[in-house]
Amino acid sequence: MKKVLLGLLVACVFTACAPHTAGVMADSKGQVRVDNNSFGKEVQVNNIMARPEGGLLRGTGTIASQVSTDLRVQYKFTWYDLNGMTIDDEGVSWKSVKLHGKQQLQVSAVAPNANATRFELYVRKAFSN
pLDDT at 9 > cutoff 60: no
- 5-19, 22-36, 37-51, 96-110: segment of lowest average pLDDT: 5-19
Residue 5's pLDDT is 42
pLDDT at 103 exceeding the cut of 50? yes
Q: What is the mean pLDDT of the chain?
A: 86
pLDDT of 6 reads 44
Got the DSSP string for 66-97? -SSS-EEEEEEEEEE-TTS-EESGGG---EEE
- What's the pTM? 0.80
Evaluate whether 39 touches 93 at the Cβ level (below 8 Å): no
The average pLDDT across 25-46 equals: 95
C-alpha 112/C-alpha 46 separation (Å) is 22
Q: Which of 99, 105, 108, 104 is nearest to 126 (CA)?
A: 99
